[in-house]
């Protein structure tokens, strides 16, 4: 078998492939587009398209597809053959620059949250040359943005790219003040993807998993995760085979899958690739998720990517590691010398200010129906945003706020009284797993995103908010005399840290005490999607997105609508599945078992009237009581479900689902789960948690 180096990137139109397939001058122009965002003219695009086609066909591709991310969150692709009939029954292989650069899918079948009514129905896809094209199942996939004809973003990628431009622009202004002129500042992202693997045959027998991605019923297993034996445990053979094939497929696509291990919950695992530019990281993550699903099927497995497939068992997140890179220098690296420290502190304080100012928006960016089961339950970060800095950095912030730090007037060097910052690198083992936003040495780890979400939104909000704070710093400091700059910058940092100190928290984020403390500090606590989403359309959010040229008001509103609608639709599907399963799967089986017990009772009694049958009688009573309780709960759920569906306003409907329907769902579930412990195994209609979680 070829070595890892040869296997890596064979199916991606990488820099190496470009060099091999493109004339030198075209290669140089394409690189300028990729690295500096320079426009690409059609002559160059034609040559690139031809080269891409040759490269792809040599690797078995027959089609190309513009690969994009509509607001539905799934990825979309329409395959076009590289064919052009030339008459006489013949055809030639063809792929033009125009076909590479722009596509015209019909936009009318994708969610647009009202944008279509305001603007044109047609949409177009535009090549994102900064994310490399790759071959997937004989199709050359070209990462693209998806917009309406009047330029409104209809997808997740466009705003992310715009937010990356915003951060590039504002960070460069700040760096200029420090005498630096990098070519490009980019947010770098590494997403840790958590997932579950279960057997296909179990999955097929659980309509709730098939339809909603999570178990709507199921009593806790006899053994959960309390023995703490799964995390980092030896990987079992079937899972190992799955992981090996997955790694191979991802490596071929140029995705540097690096870390894999068992996670905390039984049947739960994680994969983390090496970080890269934010837009590429998002594209890679979407491919990783898709590959996980298809590769699992080769091993008789199903990959569950829902945030909470099993109640009472840890859910899955997607930790989004984030940093800023200026021509490969990490701006969140504290640096080894006091000269570098002031600049680091400026960037750090801007991130802290951004997270505090826009905490509700960040929370909203990860709000989904599935993630509501995670945030706020005692496992994932809470729904309240706070920042964990670690001991050393907290100490440093404290000194600045207390006025104990100074800048030497002569050469602008920061003095914190002791050599605190250079020691930071060693401090990154000091983890706080309960924090939603933690500094881990030279990057921040945003732990709120759910496992199945497209992290474009979270990164777009983070980038935009940080860009805005960097812009504020630059506004305040531009024009300041060089001799005064150091002191003035430190004074700005001091003020900003003082203003935003409330967001810093190093304690246990799960504790009740923190919830109370957070409320005293005035931090937002938005437990459900219905509560969180309105943060998108506040004056402050609209102003942020518009001022940074990331989203127009119409674009923000459309996203808000789409997210709300999606929440309502998912909830509706869950309720319908629940009702159907209760009525058609559980009730008939519990009744059948009750009937069997009743018949047994009657038979024994008639043969032996004096027989002691009290426990059989008690069981029968319990079963019949359960049937009644389930029926009552079914009716109650159906009623409140009807009420929700009758509401015409999407936001009101979402609130009704979040605060009235969910409690009714919980109640029905509890009644059914209570029966799981008493109904004979042979009568129980679906695989249980014990069956599903321990046998892969
Ligand atoms: P953890 O110990 O948090 O589970 P992992 O090794 O599983 O860490 O994942 C860490 C992720 O962070 C990886 O995807 C890694 O590439 C990414 N990462 C490391 N450094 C940076 C950085 N400077 N910017 C963004 N992401 C980074
Ligand atoms: Mg990890």
The DSSP line for 224-256 is -STT--STTPPPPHHHHHHHHHHHHHHHHTT--
Lookup: tokens for 168:
């590039």
Considering every ligand atom shown, identify the ligand nearest to the alpha carbon of residue 440 and give its number. 1
Quick one: pLDDT at residue 423? 59
443 lines ligand 1 (CB under 6 A): yes
**Residues 650, 541 within the same domain:** no
274 lines ligand 1 (CB under 6 A): yes
**Residues 101, 177 within the same domain:** no
Q: CA 393 to CA 440: how far, in whole Å?
A: 11
Q: Which of residues 94, 122, 155 is at a domain's end?
A: 155
Ligand 1: which residue has its CA nearest to atom 19? 275
Q: How far is the CA of 144 from the centre of ligand 1 (A)?
A: 26
Q: Which of residues 132, 155, 178 is at a domain's end?
A: 155
**Residues 573, 539 within the same domain:** no
Q: Which of residues 116, 136, 155 is at a domain's end?
A: 155
Quick one: pLDDT at residue 429? 46
Q: CA 239 to CA 250: how far, in whole Å?
A: 16
Quick one: pLDDT at residue 418? 59
C-alpha 680 chain-centroid distance: 40
* Nearest Cα residue to 688 out of 586, 541, 575: 586
Q: Kindly state whether residue 557 falls inside one of the protein's structural domains.
A: no
Q: Kindly state whether residue 682 falls inside one of the protein's structural domains.
A: yes
What residues contact residue 23 under an 8 Å CB cut-off, 6+ apart? 47
589-596 own/partner pairs: CB under 8 Å, 24+ apart: 589/679, 589/683, 589/684, 589/685, 590/623, 590/626, 590/627, 590/630, 590/675, 590/679, 590/683, 591/627, 592/683, 593/623, 593/679, 593/680, 593/683, 594/620, 594/623, 594/624, 594/627, 596/683
Supply the CATH number for residue 689's domain: 1.20.120.1560
Q: Does residue 662 contact residue 641 with C-beta atoms inside 8 Å?
A: no
* Per-residue H/E/C for 3-40: CHHHHCCCCECCHHHHHHHCCHHHHHHHHHHHHHCCCC
Supply the CATH number for residue 74's domain: 3.10.20.70
**Residues 428, 454 within the same domain:** yes
Ligand 1: which residue has its CA nearest to atom 5? 272
272 lines ligand 1 (CB under 6 A): yes
Q: Kindly state whether residue 559 falls inside one of the protein's structural domains.
A: no
**Residues 132, 237 within the same domain:** no
**Which residues of the chain carry a pLDDT beneath 70?**
116-121, 338-339, 376, 378, 409-412, 417-431
Beta bridge partners of 607: none
Helix (H, G, I), strand (E, B) or coil at 66: strand
**Residues 363, 459 within the same domain:** yes
Nearest ligand 1 atom to alpha carbon 273: 14
Q: How many domains does the structure of the chain reveal?
A: 3
**Residues 526, 578 within the same domain:** no
Q: Which domain holds residue 135?
A: 8-155
pLDDT tens digit sequence for 146-185: 998 888 999 999 999 999 999 999 999 999 999 999 999 9
Q: CA 496 to CA 415: how far, in whole Å?
A: 18
Q: Which DSSP helix (H) or strand (E) runs through 669?
A: helix 662-676
Supply the CATH number for residue 379's domain: 3.30.590.10
**Residues 534, 594 within the same domain:** no
Mutate to test the pocket of ligand 1, among 187, 190, 231, 425 (most ligand atoms within 8 A of CB): 190
Nearest ligand 1 atom to alpha carbon 440: 3
The dihedral built from the CA positions of residue 237, 243, 249 and 254, taken in this order, carries a sign that is negative
What residues contact residue 669 under an 8 Å CB cut-off, 6+ apart? 216, 217, 311, 578
Quick one: pLDDT at residue 378? 66
List CB-based neighbours of ion ligand 2 within 5 Å.
Answer: 192
322 lines ligand 1 (CB under 6 A): yes
Beta bridge partners of 321: 190, 445
């Amino acid at each position: 078998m070829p070595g890892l180096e040869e296997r890596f990137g064979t199916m991606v139109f990488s820099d190496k492939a470009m060099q091999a397939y493109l004339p030198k001058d075209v290669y140089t122009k394409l690189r300028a587009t990729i690295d500096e965002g320079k426009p690409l003219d059609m002559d160059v695009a034609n040559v690139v398209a031809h080269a891409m086609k040759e490269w792809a066909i040599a690797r078995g591709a027959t089609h190309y597809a513009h690969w994009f991310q509509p607001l539905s969150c799934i990825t979309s692709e329409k395959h076009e053959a590289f064919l052009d009939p030339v008459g006489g029954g013949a055809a030639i292989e063809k792929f033009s620059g125009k076909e590479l650069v722009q596509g015209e899918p019909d936009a009318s079948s994708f969610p647009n949250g009202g944008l279509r009514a305001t603007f044109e129905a047609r949409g177009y896809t535009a090549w994102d040359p900064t994310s490399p094209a790759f071959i997937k199942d004989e199709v050359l996939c070209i990462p693209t943005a998806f917009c309406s004809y009047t330029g409104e973003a209809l997808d997740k990628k466009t705003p992310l790219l715009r937010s990356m431009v915003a951060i590039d622009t504002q960070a460069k202004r700040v760096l200029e003040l420090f005498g630096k002129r990098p070519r490009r500042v980019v947010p770098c992202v590494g997403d840790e993807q958590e997932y579950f693997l279960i057997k296909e045959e179990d999955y097929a027998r659980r309509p709730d998993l098939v339809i909603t991605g999570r178990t709507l019923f199921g009593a806790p297993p006899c053994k959960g995760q309390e023995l703490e034996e799964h995390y980092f445990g030896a990987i079992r053979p079937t899972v190992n085979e799955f992981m090996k094939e997955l790694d191979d497929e991802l490596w071929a696509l140029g995705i540097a899958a690096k870390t894999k291990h068992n996670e905390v919950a039984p049947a739960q695992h994680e994969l983390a690739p090496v970080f890269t530019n934010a837009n590429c990281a998002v594209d890679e993550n979407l491919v990783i998720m898709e590959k996980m699903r298809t590769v699992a099927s080769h091993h008789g497995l199903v990959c569950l990517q829902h945030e909470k497939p099993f109640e009472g068992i840890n859910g899955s997140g997607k930790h989004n590691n984030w940093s800023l890179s200026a021509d490969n220098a990490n701006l969140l690296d504290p640096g080894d010398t006091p000269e570098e420290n002031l600049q680091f502190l400026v960037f750090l304080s801007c991130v802290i200010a951004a997270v505090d100012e826009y905490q509700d928006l960040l929370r909203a960016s990860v709000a989904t129906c599935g993630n509501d089961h995670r945030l706020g339950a005692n496992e994932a970060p809470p729904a309240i945003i706070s920042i964990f800095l670690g001991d050393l950095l907290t100490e440093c912030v404290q000194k600045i706020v207390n006025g104990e730090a100074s800048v030497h007037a002569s050469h602008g060097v920061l003095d914190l009284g002791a050599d605190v910052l250079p020691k930071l690198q060693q401090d990154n083992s000091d983890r706080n797993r309960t924090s939603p936003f933690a500094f881990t040495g030279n990057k921040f780890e945003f732990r709120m995103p759910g496992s199945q979400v497209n992290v474009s939104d979270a990164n777009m909000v983070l980038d935009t908010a940080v860009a805005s704070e960097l812009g504020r710093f630059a506004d305040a400091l531009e024009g300041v005399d060089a001799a005064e700059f150091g002191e003035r910058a430190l004074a700005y940092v001091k003020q900003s840290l003082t203003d935003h100190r409330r967001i810093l928290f190093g304690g246990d984020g799960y504790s009740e005490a923190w919830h109370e403390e957070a409320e005293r500090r005035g931090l937002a606590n938005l437990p459900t999607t219905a509560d969180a989403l309105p943060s998108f359309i506040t004056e402050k959010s609209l102003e942020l997105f518009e001022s940074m040229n990331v989203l127009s008001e119409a674009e923000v509103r459309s996203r808000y609508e789409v997210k709300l609608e999606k929440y309502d639709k998912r909830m509706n599907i869950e309720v319908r599945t629940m009702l159907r399963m209760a009525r058609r799967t559980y009730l008939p089986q519990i009744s059948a078992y009750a009937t069997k017990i009743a018949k047994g009772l009657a038979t024994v009694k008639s043969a032996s009237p004096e027989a002691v049958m009290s426990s059989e009688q008690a069981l029968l009573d319990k079963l019949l009581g359960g049937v009644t309780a389930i029926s009552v709960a079914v009716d109650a759920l159906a009623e409140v479900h009807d009420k929700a569906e009758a509401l015409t306003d999407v936001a009101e409907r979402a609130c009704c689902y979040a605060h009235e329907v969910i409690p009714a769902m919980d109640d029905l579930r509890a009644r059914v789960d209570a029966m799981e412990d008493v109904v004979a195994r042979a009568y129980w209609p679906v695989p249980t948690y014990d069956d599903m979680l321990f046998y892969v």
